[in-house]
Amino acid sequence: MFYREAGQFKTTYNADQAIFPISQDRWFVTAVVLFAFLGVPLLAGQYLFTEVLIPVLILAIAAIGLNILTGYCGQLSLGTGGFMAVGAYAAYNLALRLPELNIIVVFLLAGVMAMLVGLLFGLPSLRIKGFYLAVATLASQFFLEWAFARVKWFTNYAPSGSVAVGKIEFFGFPIETPMQKYLFVLTLVVVFALVAKNLVRSRIGRMWMATRDMDIAAEIIGIRPLTAKLSAFAISSFYIGVAGALWGFLRLGAWEPLAFDINRSFQVLFMIIIGGLGSILGSFLGAAFIVLTPIFLNQLPSWLGIPLSTAAISHIEFMVFGALIVFFLIIEPHGLARLWAIGKEKLRLWPFPY
């Protein structure tokens, strides 16, 4: 009875086009955001910040980027790890060679560099699609891995091939402790998620979805494939590049090219499959699921008193991930986001079944 839109009249176009037209949704989202900013820093410990919250938030940005390309525009990509590497190494070189730049500017410029690379590798999407496009983006993954491992300029000629970032400051304030990193990343995530939500509701978002559903019909009604596909590649690569820069600077601190290998690409792809294709919420749910599941599986044998080796636990993780992907593709192709929507629909009818 408490989740109803009856009596919530919309008297303006702005109210009718609101992101959350039901007031209970607005209250819930506002409460979650306020708790994330005010409650979590008071309750969470260092382990929760470094191993759960920060990885979930950063990978959620990457998942939103890939969801824009694959979920909303229908262009399958397996080069996410490579584009994250572009963002990470671009941010590293910008911070190293232009130390006077603000860290926000560094991350945004890193996203722009990833966007340019994404546009370059997105050109084949104008002629090919489906699995052929997936192979083309997979080639970009291998090429970028090779470039960052072999071209020493990217790593500032480090003999080991790895790079490390220095002290991070934001307008003179240091970002050192896990709580400071968490709040910094959370602020960016809120902004990026809001921008993405409005993008997919705008004219360009409708262009993406029309191209995804049937590209020939979209072209017939006046949508240019060049604009739709390349804009999706550009914005997606920008988000993924910023996520890569955040992952390198605030999660790893030091890394080598293997930190952004093909496994990272599959990890982000699994996030949007399990979370829900074509859903901003699904990007967050998928990122949380992918990060929390290994932690849960690692602790489960000790909770149950079952002695298992680390290798056995690792194999179980892969099997569980594979089984869950098959499960969601067969039972609920729209992922966790669809289950959340079904729950809300049932709540709107509760306690009446009609």
Q: What are phi and psi of 255, to 5 degrees?
A: -155, 170
Distance CA(323)–CA(321), nearest Å, equals: 5
pLDDT > 60? residue 97? yes
Nearest to 111 by CA among 79, 86, 94, 93: 86
Name the residue with tokens 């989202």. Answer: 29
| Amino acid at the residue 123 | L
Distance CA(67)–CA(285), nearest Å, equals: 13
> Which domains occur in the chain, in start order?
35-349 (1.10.3470)
pLDDT in tens, 135-180: 889 999 999 999 999 999 999 888 888 899 988 888 888 888 999 9
Q: Which residues, in sequence order, are bridge partners of residue 169?
A: 174
Distance CA(255)–CA(307), nearest Å, equals: 33
pLDDT value for 225: 86
Distance CA(354)–CA(344), nearest Å, equals: 15
| Amino acid at the residue 281 | L
Is there a contact between 247 and 109 (Cβ–Cβ < 8 Å)? no
The token pair that represents 228 in the structure block: 């739709």
Q: Which helix (H) or strand (E) holds 294?
A: helix 280-304
Poorest-pLDDT segment among 129-143, 193-207, 210-224, 339-353 = 339-353
Distance CA(69)–CA(83), nearest Å, equals: 13
Confidence class for position 260, pLDDT limits 50, 70, 90:
very high
pLDDT > 60? residue 282? yes
Number of Cβ within a 10 Å radius of residue 317: 15
> Which DSSP letter does residue 19 get?
S
